[in-house]
Amino acid sequence: MKNLTIDAERLWNDLMATAKVGATPKGGICRLTLTDLDRQVRDWFKAQAQALGCEVTIDDMGTMFARYPGQRDIPPIAMGSHLDTQPTGGKFDGALGVLAALEALRTLHRAGYETFAPIEVVNWTNEEGARFAPPMIASGVFAGVYKRDWACARADRGGETFGDALDKIGYRGPLRCGDHKLSAFFEVHIEQGPYLETEGKDIGIVTGVQAMRWYEMTITGQDTHAGTTPMPRRHDALLGAARVVEAVNRTARQFPTAVGTVGILEVKPGSPNVVPGEVFLTMDLRDPDATVIDKMENEIAAQARIVGSKLGLEIITKTISAEPAVQFDADCVAAVRAAAKISGYSAREIISRAGHDAAFVSRVAPTAMIFVPCKDGISHNEAEFSSKEQCAAGAQVLLQAVLDYDRQLADHYGK
């Protein structure tokens, strides 16, 4: 048996090298999707994959597929995640999934191991949704959840569209998004929560993803002079928004497994001596059970109606995305379980509390995910951290799971 152990050092070096692209003073990364920094890291990834003999194709949502040939020309087993980050993101969210996949491929390449199916490393565009909402927009189009033209017309807060941004960095490819078929998809990711670390487990065998819904709310009152407008005559959009923020928090706390977040809040006109006339905000509601989100949505809407009528504000809420809970593929999950065991890592089953590209891909291909612990459960923060050994464990289990699934495919196709 050839040595199929991934190189922990090499993976770590890749993580630290890519972390320089968009590095922040506090040790994190600001590499928003489809910016010039994103282009730089994409170019790097392309060059690395080509050096292994991969053919790199780009679809018309900018997603990159680096293909390593197998014995049979069947749909590939894909591994990957995303290289974009939050505005104050960490070094591991997304990057680990792409670079662990690259490292797994390097290990196969170095060993001269020939898989039955082709193997691919995928970099999905705009997983974060920080610049263009909704998140996971490219895997969403890939899975038929969103329309491509709608996705390309999504604008950032500066008015630039997703499509224009794709063209600007030269990553609108010729492949029609969704035409590319996969035999399976595996994604390594940091847990972004506290459970693996608390229980001292090396690996999370991810069985599914909780349900998630995003909303945009616009609250309209009246801009007036802060010195001359008596308190009872005001229609203060920010006071209304403050009550909505409080309602989201209070409502989420009523359900033990739910979370609710207002992440963006913009005030117009934004002057110290003007009573704000308009506020735009986003809401993110999640729970493993979608009916809990229904209840939260109704409760928040009822509270917002009261706020609006009391303060004389117009409040308009739009649902931007609504993702049901996801159950990953039983065979893929079994491959991850077996891979953790054969690699000698402690593991537990876990439900992902965050959305991931894997959640959308699971609609069109057998899919599973592998979690590794991260320090204090902190993510979407510059202090996000997983150790070299934790990252390596994720990459090793990924490689083993892909090889296990490849053997299943070979049996299935009757090698």
Q: List residues binding a second copy (CB under 8 A).
A: 86-88, 128-130, 133, 135, 191-194, 210, 212, 214, 222-231, 233, 236, 238-239, 241-243, 245-246, 249, 252-253, 258-277, 282, 284, 286, 353-355, 377-382
Residue 72, classed as helix, strand or coil, is coil
Handedness of CA 102, 399, 108, 124 (dihedral sign): negative
Q: Given the complex with a second copy, which of 268 and 407 has the nearer CB atom?
A: 268
Q: Given the complex with a second copy, which of 257 and 327 has the nearer CB atom?
A: 257
Interior CA angle at 135 toward 161 and 384, to 5°? 120
Q: Given the complex with a second copy, which of 61 and 238 has the nearer CB atom?
A: 238
Smallest distance from a second copy to CB 63, Å: 20
Q: What is the DSSP letter of 394?
A: H
Q: Distance between CA 367 and CA 77 in Å, rounded?
A: 10
Smallest distance from a second copy to CB 369, Å: 13
Q: Given the complex with a second copy, which of 350 and 365 has the nearer CB atom?
A: 350
Q: Given the complex with a second copy, which of 229 and 387 has the nearer CB atom?
A: 229
* Token pair belonging to 209: 């993803």
Q: Given the complex with a second copy, which of 151 and 403 has the nearer CB atom?
A: 151
Q: Given the complex with a second copy, which of 253 and 305 has the nearer CB atom?
A: 253
Q: Given the complex with a second copy, which of 121 and 137 has the nearer CB atom?
A: 137
Smallest distance from a second copy to CB 19, Å: 17
Smallest distance from a second copy to CB 106, Å: 29
Smallest distance from a second copy to CB 380, Å: 4
Q: Distance between CA 407 and CA 401 in Å, rounded?
A: 10
Q: Given the complex with a second copy, which of 320 and 410 has the nearer CB atom?
A: 320
Interior CA angle at 136 toward 131 and 142, to 5°? 130
Smallest distance from a second copy to CB 195, Å: 9
Smallest distance from a second copy to CB 204, Å: 12
Q: Which of 34, 13, 5 is nearest to 22 (CA)?
A: 34
Smallest distance from a second copy to CB 207, Å: 16
Q: Given the complex with a second copy, which of 267 and 342 has the nearer CB atom?
A: 267
Phi, psi (deg, nearest 5) at residue 326: -115, 140
Asked if residue 30 lies in contact with residue 22, where contact means CB atoms within 8 angstroms, the answer is yes
Q: Which of 15, 187, 21 is nearest to 91 (CA)?
A: 15
Smallest distance from a second copy to CB 100, Å: 19
Q: Distance between CA 401 and CA 1 in Å, rounded?
A: 17
* Token pair belonging to 131: 């610049």
366-402: b or e for each residue (b if 16 or more CB lie within 10 Å)? bbbbbbbbbbebbbbbbebbbeeebbbbbbbbbbbbb
Smallest distance from a second copy to CB 360, Å: 15
Q: Distance between CA 365 and CA 385 in Å, rounded?
A: 30
Q: Given the complex with a second copy, which of 120 and 236 has the nearer CB atom?
A: 236
Smallest distance from a second copy to CB 36, Å: 19
At how many degrees (to 10) do helices 290-311 and 237-253 cross?
A: 150
159, 161, 167, 172: CA torsion to nearest 10: 160
Phi, psi (deg, nearest 5) at residue 216: -120, 135
DSSP sequence for 74-99? SPPEEEEE-----TTB-SSTTHHHHH
